[in-house]
C-alpha cells in the first residue's frame, strides 16, 4: 500500500529537514505502530492519520511515547493516589455496590458517553479493517461500555490527581483499545480487562486452553540482542532504527519475545539478510549488522538463517495452536460477531442463509404450460449440520415476519437477477404450519425457470434456502455455546438452490448409519443402499426388505418370531420403527 498524500497533513516531511527538531521522526512517535506494516514492509501504520507512514518522516502531530494518548490510566502506580473521600462512592440507589464488576455492569451511561463510545468503536474498527488486522483487534459497544463502567468504579479507589471520574474511565477505554490493536498493553500491569478481550486475542483469559507454545527466546537470540543493545548504545545503529525495535530487543535480552514479534522475525530476516554481505574483516560493524542483532539474528548469514528457521517453527506451532483454539472457541467469536452486528445496528441487517433438503418437493403443471411449486424452505426442530454450532428453528419463529406482510421474493440460488416469484405480486404464498415454513408459488415462463423445472422433475435439485436476520433477543444459545435456537426470524428471501443443506433430516439419518451398523453388526453400505431405495419410493428387493427387517429385529427388545417376519404388515411396521430410530 502506498501513502495517500491526501490523508496526511501538509506538514508531513522528512525528519532530516532543517526545521524538524532532532529525534522527532515518525519512528519515534507515540502514534507510530510498527506492528502494522504495508505489504512491502517499508512503512508502518500511523494511528493519528490512519495511514502508512515512513519512519524517517515527521509532522506537527508528533508526540513522544511518554505522552501516551491512552491517558493517565497507564501511568505507573506510584503516580496514583488513593481517592479522596469525596470520590469514594461505594454505591447509591442508582448504582449498587459492585455494579461495575463483570462484563455487563449496571452503572448507567449517559447518552453523551454512549455516543462517544460508539464513535470510538467505529473509528477503531474502521482503522483495523483498513489495515487488514486480525479479527481479534475488533471491539464492540458492549466491551467498551464494560471497560468504561469498570474505570468509573475504580475511580472510587484510586486515581491520578487532577482527573475527573469520566476522564479516568475514558482513559481506561483508551488503554483497552491500545491493548486490542497492539496485542500487548502499554503498561504490563494492565491485566484487569483481559477477560473482555475477544477469545482469540493473545492476552485474552477467555481462551478454552492454556497456551502450550514456548515463546521464550533461545540463548543465542538473547546473546545477539544483548550485543545489539551494546552497539546501539555506542552509536553504531545508524539513523533508520526505530524505538520499537530497541524496546523489543530489551525484552528479548531478558528472554521475552511476544507472539507479534515472533511472527515478524522470519519475514524481516528474509528481507534484510543481504545486509550482512557488507560485514567483513575491514568493516566488522555496520548498521545492518546491528539491526540483525537487535532482531535476534546475525552476525553471519548462517546465524541469521538459524534464527529465521527457529522463528518460523514458533509461528507454525502458534498457528497449529490457534487452529485448535479456534475450533473450540468459534462459538464464542461467532456469537460476538452476531451480537456486535446487533449492537452497531438495531435493525440487525446481517443476513444469514440456511439450506434445507426438501422432503415434500412438489412441481405440477398448470394451465398454458405454467408450473406451480410447493416445498418447505425451513423445517422446525430439525438440527442443522454443524456450523460448527448446531442450530434449530423453534415452531412459530416466522410468525411475526409473516404478519408484517413485507415483500419477500423467491430466487434461484440467492441471485436477485433470477426472480422466481414474490409475495407482493401474489405469485408466492408463505405460511407456517406444524412442519415449518411452507412455500407455494407459480414459476414464471422464463428460460431459467423452465430449466429449473426440468432439473426438479429429474430429481437433480431438492434443496431450498432462506435468507434471514435475527432481531435482538430472537435467538437463544446453549450454556456451552455449541447450540443455538432461533426463536424469531426476520425473513428476507427464499431460494431454490443446489448444494449441501444446513438443515437435513435425511443427512442426519445417513450420518447415523455407522452407529446403526455398529449396533446391529450389519453392513453400513448395504443399509445405506436399502434406505436410499426406500426414501426414493423405489420397490424394495427381497434382499433390501429382509435387511431392513433384520435391522429392526436386532434393535427390538423382544425379537419377533421368524415365521411371521415375512408378512407385509409387519415389514411396514418394521420400516416405520427403523425410520423412527434413525
> What is the per-residue pLDDT for 578?
52
Mean pLDDT of 507-526: 58
Q: Is 276 exposed, middle or buried (0-12, 13-18, 19+ CB in 10 A)?
A: buried
Q: Is residue 343 part of a domain?
A: no
CA distance 147 to 162: 21
Q: Is residue 457 part of a domain?
A: yes
Q: Identify whether residues 400 and 493 lie together within a single domain.
A: yes
User: Which H or E element spans position 511?
Assistant: helix 505-511
Q: Identify whether residues 537 and 569 lie together within a single domain.
A: yes
Which pLDDT band, with edges at 50, 70 and 90, does 291 fall under? very high
Mean pLDDT of 260-283: 89
- Domain boundary at 504, 536, 561, which? 504
Q: Identify whether residues 358 and 445 lie together within a single domain.
A: yes
- Domain boundary at 457, 477, 504, which? 504
> What is the per-residue pLDDT for 387?
64
> What is the per-residue pLDDT for 6?
43
Q: Identify whether residues 457 and 516 lie together within a single domain.
A: no
Q: Are 332 and 199 in contact (CB under 8 A)?
A: yes
Q: Identify whether residues 48 and 155 lie together within a single domain.
A: no
Q: Do the strands 483-486 and 475-477 form a parallel or antiparallel pair, or are they unpaired? A: antiparallel
Q: Are 177 and 70 in contact (CB under 8 A)?
A: yes
Q: Identify whether residues 77 and 52 lie together within a single domain.
A: no
Q: Is residue 338 part of a domain?
A: no
Mean pLDDT of 124-129: 87
> What is the per-residue pLDDT for 540?
74
Q: Is the dihedral of CA 236, 240, 244, 249 positive or negative?
A: negative
Reply yes or no on whether the pLDDT at 31 is more than 70: yes
Q: What is the pTM of this model?
A: 0.34
> What is the per-residue pLDDT for 283?
87
Using H for helix, E for strand and C for coil, what is the string for 10-60? CCCEECCCCCCCCCCCHHHCCCEEEEEECCCCCCEEECCCCEEECCCEECC
Q: Is residue 212 part of a domain?
A: no
> What is the per-residue pLDDT for 90?
52
Q: Is residue 300 part of a domain?
A: yes
Q: Identify whether residues 531 and 560 lie together within a single domain.
A: yes
C-alpha cell at 192: 484487569
Q: Identify whether residues 42 and 82 lie together within a single domain.
A: no
197-230 per-position pLDDT tens digit: 887 787 877 643 444 567 888 888 999 999 999 9
Query: Whats the size of the chain, residue-wise?
Result: 582
Reply yes or no on whether the pLDDT at 428 is more than 90: yes
Q: Identify whether residues 487 and 518 lie together within a single domain.
A: no
CA distance 32 to 56: 11
Q: In degrees rounded to 5, what are phi and psi of residue 379?
A: -125, 130
Q: Is residue 64 part of a domain?
A: no
> What is the per-residue pLDDT for 529?
65
Mean pLDDT of 178-189: 80
Mean pLDDT of 458-476: 82
Reply yes or no on whether the pLDDT at 39 is more than 50: yes
Reply yes or no on whether the pLDDT at 423 is more than 60: yes
Q: Identify whether residues 524 and 475 lie together within a single domain.
A: no
Q: Identify whether residues 487 and 362 lie together within a single domain.
A: yes
- Domain boundary at 504, 536, 570, which? 504
Reply yes or no on whether the pLDDT at 345 is more than 70: no
Tell me how many domains the chain contains. 5
Q: Is residue 308 part of a domain?
A: yes
Reply yes or no on whether the pLDDT at 395 is more than 80: yes
Q: Is residue 207 part of a domain?
A: no
Residue 557's domain comprises: 512-581
Q: Identify whether residues 52 and 21 lie together within a single domain.
A: yes
Amino acid at each position: 500500500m502506498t501513502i495517500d498524500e491526501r490523508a496526511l497533513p501538509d506538514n508531513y516531511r522528512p525528519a532530516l529537514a532543517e526545521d524538524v527538531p532532532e529525534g522527532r521522526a515518525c519512528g519515534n512517535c507515540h502514534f507510530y505502530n510498527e506492528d502494522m506494516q504495508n505489504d512491502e514492509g517499508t512503512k508502518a501504520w500511523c494511528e493519528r492519520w490512519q495511514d502508512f507512514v515512513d519512519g524517517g518522516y515527521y509532522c506537527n502531530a508528533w508526540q513522544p511515547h511518554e505522552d501516551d494518548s491512552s491517558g493517565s490510566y497507564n501511568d505507573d502506580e506510584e503516580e496514583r493516589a488513593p481517592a479522596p473521600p469525596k470520590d469514594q462512592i461505594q454505591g447509591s440507589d442508582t448504582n449498587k455496590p459492585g455494579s461495575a464488576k463483570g462484563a455487563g455492569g449496571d452503572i448507567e451511561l449517559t447518552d453523551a458517553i454512549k455516543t462517544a463510545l460508539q464513535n470510538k468503536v467505529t473509528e477503531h474498527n474502521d482503522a483495523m479493517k483498513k489495515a487488514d488486522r486480525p479479527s481479534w483487534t475488533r471491539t464492540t459497544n458492549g466491551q467498551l461500555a464494560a471497560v468504561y463502567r469498570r474505570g468509573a468504579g475504580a475511580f472510587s479507589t484510586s486515581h491520578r490527581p487532577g482527573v475527573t471520574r469520566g476522564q479516568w474511565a475514558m482513559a481506561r477505554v483508551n488503554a483497552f483499545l491500545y491493548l486490542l490493536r497492539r496485542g500487548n498493553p502499554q503498561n504490563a500491569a494492565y491485566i484487569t480487562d483481559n477477560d473482555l478481550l475477544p477469545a482469540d486475542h493473545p492476552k485474552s483469559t477467555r481462551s478454552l486452553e492454556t497456551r502450550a507454545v514456548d515463546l521464550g527466546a533461545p540463548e543465542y537470540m538473547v546473546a545477539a540482542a544483548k550485543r545489539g543493545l551494546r552497539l546501539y548504545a555506542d552509536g553504531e545503529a545508524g539513523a533508520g532504527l526505530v524505538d520499537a525495535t530497541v524496546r523489543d530487543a530489551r525484552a528479548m535480552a531478558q528472554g521475552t519475545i511476544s507472539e507479534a514479534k515472533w511472527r515478524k522475525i522470519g519475514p524481516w530476516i528474509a528481507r534484510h539478510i543481504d545486509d550482512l554481505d557488507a560485514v567483513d574483516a575491514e568493516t566488522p560493524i555496520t548498521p545492518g549488522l546491528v539491526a540483525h542483532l537487535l532482531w535476534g539474528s546475525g552476525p553471519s548469514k548462517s546465524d541469521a538463517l538459524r534464527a529465521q528457521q527457529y522463528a518460523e517453527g514458533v509461528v507454525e506451532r502458534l498457528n497449529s495452536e490457534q487452529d485448535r483454539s479456534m475450533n473450540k472457541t468459534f462459538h464464542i467469536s461467532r456469537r460476538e460477531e452476531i451480537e456486535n452486528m446487533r449492537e452497531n445496528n438495531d435493525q440487525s441487517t446481517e443476513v444469514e442463509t440456511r439450506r434445507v433438503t426438501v422432503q415434500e418437493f412438489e412441481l405440477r403443471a398448470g394451465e398454458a404450460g405454467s408450473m406451480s411449486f410447493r416445498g418447505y424452505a425451513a423445517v422446525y426442530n430439525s438440527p442443522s449440520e454443524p456450523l460448527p454450532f448446531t442450530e434449530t428453528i423453534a415452531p412459530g419463529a416466522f410468525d411475526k415476519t409473516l404478519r408484517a406482510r413485507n415483500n419477500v421474493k423467491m430466487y434461484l440460488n440467492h441471485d436477485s437477477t433470477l426472480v422466481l416469484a414474490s409475495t407482493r405480486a401474489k405469485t408466492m404464498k408463505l405460511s407456517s404450519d406444524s412442519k415449518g415454513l411452507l412455500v407455494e408459488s407459480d414459476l414464471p415462463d422464463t428460460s431459467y425457470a423452465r430449466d429449473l423445472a426440468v432439473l426438479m422433475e429429474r430429481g437433480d435439485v431438492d434443496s431450498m434456502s432462506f435468507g434471514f436476520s435475527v432481531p435482538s433477543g430472537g435467538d437463544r444459545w446453549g450454556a456451552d455455546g455449541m447450540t443455538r435456537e432461533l426463536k424469531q426470524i426476520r425473513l428476507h428471501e427464499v431460494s431454490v438452490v443446489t448444494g449441501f443443506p444446513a438443515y437435513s433430516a435425511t443427512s442426519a439419518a445417513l450420518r447415523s448409519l455407522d452407529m446403526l451398523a455398529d449396533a446391529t453388526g450389519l453392513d453400513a453400505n448395504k443399509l445405506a443402499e436399502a434406505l436410499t431405495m426406500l426414501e426414493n419410493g423405489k420397490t424394495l428387493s427381497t434382499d433390501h426388505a429382509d435387511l431392513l427387517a433384520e435391522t429392526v429385529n436386532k434393535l427390538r427388545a423382544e425379537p419377533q418370531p421368524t415365521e411371521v417376519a415375512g408378512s407385509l404388515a409387519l415389514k411396514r411396521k418394521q420400516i416405520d420403527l427403523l425410520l423412527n430410530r434413525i
